[in-house]
């Protein structure tokens, strides 16, 4: 009974922290552009995460529940450890006010369990998942850079675009908010599976009931813990205007949906921040963006938190099971 209560608490804690981390790439662009109030953000974010999870969350749940760790090793205790390790790693990033990848800390936690049991589907990790972790953030940066360069800086041959944006300013703002909801939908399609996948793999809950139970917790987490990461993404790196906020949101959500349809747990946070870096590079230059203290801090946290998840997962299993497998 105590173990079940602990698992429930950990799932709630993990999902709320995912919501806090996810609201930043979902609505920070619109928030940084001062298009919407914070209270409205949390409500819309929660609604569209639920819709995205129920519509497209199955594929990633299957990957995390079946295709990384053999089923015979994914039991109640292992699921408990995986969610514990991922939760603590993500909570660390949130305390440091750095939006972090829920997918990478979850995969890191599963990898730690696989290293402990000496059974891991390396092909899924090294051939399918990690290459897309590199390709998609790079694609986010390049797509945003080349698309945004069409209108920035203002010059004679693109002034007609500014005229149209100015004439339809209200529509542009509405579009930006709609696209932010599109991002929340994409988060639901991918990131809710980080909690549901291990539970499904351990036979604790079915995919659809799991998605339905976990996804509302994202909105609650965004409300309780999301202000810091949202401020970091939307204001401290580079202030975003109406058009740039819409472009950032659309590019990152579209790339995440590509990953979701492929069943790949992918970091929307990193897609989003790389897109914001592209805007900053055009406005402030590549060197200024890379030298910014928040840029360096962001990359550092991105690098260490998945490794922390591996470490916590591995040594938690050593502690709980009382031995190191040889």
Cα 287 to Cα 22, 98, 212, 277, distances in angstroms: 28, 21, 44, 11
**Total-model pTM:** 0.86
In the block, which residue shows the tokens 């790949």? 264
Question: Where are the alpha helices (H) located in 57-158, listed in sequence order?
Answer: 58-66, 76-95, 102-117, 122-123, 130-148
Going by the DSSP 8-state scheme, the letter that residue 158 receives in this structure is G
Residues comprising the chain, all counted:
326
Can you read off the two tokens belonging to residue 212? 């339905």
Q: What is the pLDDT of residue 326?
A: 44
Query: Exposed, middle or buried, 259 (CB in 10 Å: 0-12/13-18/19+)?
Result: buried
Alpha-carbon distance values, 311 to 86, 91, 325 (Å): 10, 15, 15
If one counts every other C-beta atom within 10 angstroms of the C-beta of residue 274, the result is 25
The pair phi, psi for residue 251, each rounded to 5°, is: -60, -50
Query: What's the pLDDT at 275?
Result: 87
> How far is residue 30's CA from residue 42's CA, in Å, rounded to a whole number?
12
Residue 71 is encoded by which pair of tokens?
């089923």
pLDDT of 324 reads 45
In the chain, domain spans: 2-321
**CA 223/CA 41 separation, integer angstroms:** 9
Q: For residues 229 and 249, give the distance between their C-alpha atoms in angstroms, rounded to a whole number.
A: 16
User: Which tokens hold the place of 1?
Assistant: 């009974």
pLDDT tens, per residue, the chain with 326 residues: 788 899 999 999 889 888 887 887 788 667 776 778 888 898 999 999 999 999 999 999 999 999 999 989 999 989 999 999 988 887 776 676 666 678 998 999 999 999 999 999 999 999 999 999 999 999 999 999 998 888 776 676 666 666 666 666 677 778 888 998 999 999 999 999 999 999 999 999 999 999 999 999 999 998 887 777 677 655 554 455 667 778 888 999 999 999 999 999 998 878 888 888 888 888 777 676 666 666 777 777 777 878 888 999 999 898 877 654 44
Q: SS in 3 state form for 15-69?
A: HHHHHHHHHHHHHHHHHHCCCCCHHHHHHHHHHHHHHHHHHHCHHHHHHHHHCCC
């Amino acid at each position: 009974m105590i173990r079940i209560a602990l698992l429930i608490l950990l799932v709630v804690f993990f999902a709320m922290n995912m919501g806090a981390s996810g609201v930043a790439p979902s609505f920070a662009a619109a928030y940084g552009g001062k298009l919407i109030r914070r209270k409205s953000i949390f409500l819309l974010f929660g609604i569209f995460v639920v819709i995205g999870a129920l519509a497209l969350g199955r594929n990633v749940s299957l990957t995390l529940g079946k295709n990384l760790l053999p089923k015979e090793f994914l039991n109640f205790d292992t699921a408990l450890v995986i969610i514990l390790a991922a939760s603590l790693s993500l909570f660390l990033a949130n305390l440091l006010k750095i939006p972090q990848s829920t997918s990478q800390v979850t995969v890191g936690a599963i990898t730690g369990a696989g290293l402990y049991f000496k059974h891991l589907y390396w092909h899924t990790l090294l051939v399918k998942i990690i290459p897309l972790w590199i390709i998609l953030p790079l694609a986010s940066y390049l797509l945003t850079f080349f698309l945004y360069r069409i209108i920035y800086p203002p010059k004679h041959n693109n002034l007609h675009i500014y005229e149209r944006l100015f004439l339809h300013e209200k529509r542009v703002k509405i579009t930006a908010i709609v696209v932010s909801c599109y991002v929340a939908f994409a988060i639901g399609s991918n990131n809710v599976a980080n909690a549901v996948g291990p539970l499904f793999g351990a036979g604790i809950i079915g995919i659809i009931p799991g998605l339905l139970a976990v996804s509302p917790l994202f909105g609650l987490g965004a409300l309780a813990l999301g202000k810091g990461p949202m401020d970091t993404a939307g204001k401290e790196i580079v202030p975003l205007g109406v058009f740039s906020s819409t472009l950032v949101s659309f590019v990152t959500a579209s790339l995440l949906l590509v990953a979701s349809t492929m069943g790949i747990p992918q970091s929307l946070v990193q897609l989003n921040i790389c897109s914001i870096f592209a805007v900053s590079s055009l406005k402030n230059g590549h060197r200024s963006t890379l030298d910014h203290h928040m840029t360096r801090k962001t990359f550092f946290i991105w690098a260490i938190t998945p490794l922390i998840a591996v470490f916590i997962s591995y040594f938690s299993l050593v502690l709980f099971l009382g031995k190191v497998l040889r």
